[in-house]
Amino acid sequence: MDIFYTFLVGPEMLWLLFFVYLKALIRFTRSPRKQMDRLWLSLANFVPLIAVPMTFLLYQFPGVPHAWLLLRIWVSCIFGAHYVLDRGLGAHSEQGPGIGTAYMMGIILTVVMLIAGSLVVAWMWYF
């Protein structure tokens, strides 16, 4: 039961919820549609600037076990960002070079936000 609870309130479940929500949004909008292209490109900003800091907020919840949490956040953010960006940008109506650029920008910004979040967590634990 303890292992189940650890994964139930961890970063893996949060990224799984992001992915399921995105899949439901793609199915609901019947993409690829030209009207939704702007939303899919904005995922390259949403994932690193909103979803990664939301994952670091798990440090503020008292029920989340902190053992190995930073490593779990890094691994789940890298894999989660890849799957969310890949699926979301795959729903774009025109698969041109801008989609690959948005994917690379999203992954690079995810790594930058992971480094920044790790520094904030280290600073919080130090003081």
What residues contact residue 31 under an 8 Å CB cut-off, 6+ apart? Answer: 40, 91, 92, 93
- Number of domains making up the chain: 1
The answer on pLDDT for 60 being more than 70 is yes
Question: Rounded distance, CA 66 to CA 49, Å?
Answer: 23
User: pTM of the prediction?
Assistant: 0.86
* Helices and strands (DSSP H and E) totals, the chain: 6, 0
- For the residues 54-78, what does the mean pLDDT come to? 88
DSSP tag of 57: G
pLDDT in tens, 85-100: 998 888 877 777 888 8
Give the structural domain span for 105: 2-126
Q: Are 89 and 40 in contact (CB under 8 A)?
A: yes
Question: DSSP class of residue 96?
Answer: S
Report which listed range, 28-42, 80-94, 106-120, is most confident.
Answer: 106-120
